[in-house]
C-alpha cells in the first residue's frame, strides 16, 4: 500500500508518521511519499520522519519529492494537509478582519472565507492529479482547513474524498480521562458542520452518560470549550470550542483586538520545532509539538485509514455528504457526524431531529459554505459578496464592502504554494 502526504513540510508530519509506523502491521504500508514544494522544510521534516520510521522498524520505502505526479502515482491514500501561503497568509486572515471590526480566525468568519477562496482551487488541482494517477479506488483524506468547505468542493467535483477533523477525537480522549475509562469505550455522538458541532450524546459502552457528565464535570467541559457553563446547561449539549466565536462574539473580538494573533505565536513555535527537527539524534516527536495544536491528529488519521482499508464498520467522526441524515439541511451539504466506515466509504449514523436553536445556526453557516465553495471555484465576486453577507459573523453590506478587497487582493501571498500542513 502506498500513502502520499501532500503538504509534508508541515511540522505536524512527524505526528502523522508516528501514527503510520504504529499501524504499519494492520495497514501493511510499504511505500510512504512525503510531498512538498518547499525544499528546506521537506528535507528537515522528511529527515526526522525517516529517523522515526527507522527507529520503529519500518521496512518499506520513504520518498521525499516536489513532484506531485510522482507522489500520487499508484497511491491508495492521499492525505492533503496544505496551507496555501503558509503562516504569513494566516496572519492576514486573522488581522484583516479585525481592522474592519470582525473576528479574525483562520477557519471561521471572514478569515475562513479568505482561506477557502485561495485554498480550494489548489486542492482541486491536487485532486485532479490524484484522479489521473492514483489507484482506481484511492481515497483523498482532507485535513486542510476549512475542512467542510474543502471537502464540499472535492465532492462537488466528483472526487472520492472524506474530510477529517481532530475535535471529536480530542473530546473522546478528554472525556475518557474524566470518566477514567479507555477511550475506545467512548463514542462521541455529535451533529453539525465542521467547526460548528454540538455533542448530543456521549455513549459509554452504548449508554448515554452526557447528562451525568454535565452534572459532574460541567465546569471542566465549559472551560474546555471556553463557553459559560450556563450555556451548556441551557442547551443540554456540549458545543465545540469554535462556537464561542458565536456565543461570545463581542468578548472574543475585544480579546483579539488587545491580543497577539495566533499565527504570530505559531510562527515562533514552528521556528523552534524546525530547529529541533534538524537534530540528527532526534528520533521522536518533541514535546514542543503539543503547543502547536492538532492533538490526536495522527490517531484520527491512521484510525480512519485503517477502517477504510478493512471496511470493518468501525465508527469515526468524519465530514461527508448529508444525504437524509440531518433533516433541515440540503442533501449535498457537508456535515460532520459519526459514521460507520465500510468498504464503500462512510455511512452516517442516524441522527434524530436537531433542535431549532442548533439547526438555525447550522442552516445559516451551511448556506455560507455553499456560496463560498462556489465562489472559490468560479472566482465570481458577486457570489463572494453573497457568501460574506450570509455569514452570521459578518452579515452587513458595509462590512462586506470593506472586507472583500483586502481579503482577496493579497499580492504578497503566494497563492499557489502548499508548504505547510493544517489539520483541524
Show which residues are catalytic. Answer: 242
Pseudo-torsion of CA 193, 199, 200, 202, nearest 10°? Answer: 140
Residue 388: partners with Cβ closer than 8 Å, 6 or more residues away:
110, 113, 394, 399, 400, 403, 404
The residue written with cell numbers 463572494 in the block is 384
Of 404, 373, 382, which Cα lies nearest the Cα of 121?
373
Q: Hey, what's the cell of 322? A: 448529508
Angle at 268 between CA 265 and CA 273, to 5 degrees: 125
Q: Hey, what's the cell of 278? A: 534538524
DSSP readout, 79-101?
Answer: EE---TTHHHHHHHHHHHHHHTT
Dihedrals phi, psi of 157, to nearest 5 degrees: -85, 5
Q: CB of 305 within 8 A of CB of 5?
A: no
Of 224, 222, 221, 181, which Cα lies nearest the Cα of 204?
181
Angle at 410 between CA 406 and CA 411, to 5 degrees: 140
CB atoms under 10 Å from CB of 171, counted, come to 24
Q: Hey, what's the cell of 140? A: 483523498
How far is Cα 266 from Cα 263, in angstroms, rounded to an integer? 5
SS3 content of the chain, % helix, strand, coil (to 5): 50, 15, 30
The runs of H, that is alpha helices, within 134-209 are 147-156, 167-179
Q: Hey, what's the cell of 35? A: 510531498
DSSP readout, 327-365?
Answer: TTS-TTSEEEEEEEEETTEEEEPP-PPPPHHHHHHHHHH
HSE value, Cβ hemisphere, 13 Å, CA-based, for 309: 19
Amino acid at each position: 500500500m502506498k500513502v502520499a502526504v501532500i503538504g509534508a513540510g508541515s511540522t505536524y508530519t512527524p505526528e502523522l508518521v508516528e501514527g503510520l509506523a504504529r499501524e504499519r502491521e494492520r495497514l501493511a504500508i510499504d511505500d510512504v511519499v512525503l510531498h512538498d514544494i518547499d525544499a528546506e522544510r521537506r528535507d528537515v521534516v522528511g529527515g526526522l520522519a525517516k529517523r522515526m520510521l527507522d527507529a520503529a522498524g519500518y521496512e518499506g520505502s520513504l520518498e521525499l519529492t516536489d513532484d506531485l505526479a510522482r507522489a500520487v502515482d499508484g497511491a491508495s491514500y492521499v492525505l492533503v494537509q496544505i496551507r496555501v501561503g503558509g503562516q504569513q497568509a494566516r496572519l492576514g486572515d486573522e488581522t484583516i478582519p479585525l481592522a474592519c471590526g470582525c473576528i479574525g480566525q483562520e477557519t471561521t468568519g471572514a478569515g475562513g472565507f479568505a482561506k477557502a477562496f485561495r485554498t480550494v482551487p489548489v486542492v482541486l488541482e491536487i485532486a485532479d492529479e490524484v484522479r489521473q494517477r492514483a489507484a482506481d479506488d484511492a481515497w483523498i483524506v482532507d485535513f486542510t482547513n476549512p475542512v467542510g468547505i474543502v471537502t464540499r468542493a472535492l465532492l462537488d467535483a466528483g472526487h472520492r474524498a472524506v474530510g477529517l477533523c481532530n475535535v471529536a477525537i480530542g473530546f473522546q480522549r478528554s472525556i475518557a480521562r474524566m470518566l477514567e475509562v479507555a477511550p475506545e469505550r467512548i463514542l462521541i455522538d455529535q451533529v453539525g458542520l465542521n467547526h460548528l458541532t454540538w455533542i448530543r450524546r456521549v455513549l459509554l459502552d452504548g449508554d448515554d452518560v452526557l447528562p451525568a457528565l454535565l452534572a459532574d464535570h460541567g465546569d471542566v467541559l465549559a472551560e474546555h470549550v471556553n463557553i459559560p457553563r450556563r450555556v451548556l446547561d441551557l442547551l443540554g449539549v456540549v458545543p465545540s470550542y469554535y462556537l464561542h466565536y458565536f456565543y461570545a462574539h463581542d468578548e472574543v473580538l475585544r480579546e483579539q483586538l488587545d491580543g497577539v494573533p495566533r499565527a504570530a505565536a505559531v510562527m515562533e513555535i514552528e521556528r523552534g520545532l524546525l530547529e529541533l527537527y534538524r537534530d540528527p539524534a532526534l528520533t521522536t516527536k518533541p514535546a514542543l509539538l503539543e503547543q502547536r495544536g492538532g492533538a490526536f491528529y495522527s490517531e484520527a488519521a491512521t484510525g480512519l485509514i485503517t477502517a477504510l482499508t478493512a471496511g470493518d464498520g468501525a465508527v469515526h467522526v468524519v465530514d461527508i455528504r448529508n444525504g437524509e441524515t440531518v433533516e433541515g439541511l440540503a442533501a449535498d451539504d457537508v456535515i460532520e457526524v459519526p459514521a460507520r466506515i465500510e468498504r464503500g466509504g462512510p455511512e452516517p449514523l442516524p441522527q434524530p431531529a436537531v433542535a431549532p436553536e442548533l439547526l438555525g445556526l447550522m442552516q445559516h453557516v451551511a448556506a455560507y459554505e455553499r456560496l463560498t465553495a462556489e465562489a472559490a471555484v468560479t472566482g465570481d465576486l458577486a457570489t463572494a459578496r453573497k457568501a460574506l453577507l450570509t455569514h452570521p459573523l459578518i452579515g452587513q453590506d458595509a462590512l462586506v464592502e470593506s472586507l472583500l478587497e483586502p481579503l482577496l487582493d493579497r499580492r504578497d501571498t503566494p497563492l499557489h504554494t502548499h508548504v505547510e500542513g493544517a489539520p483541524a
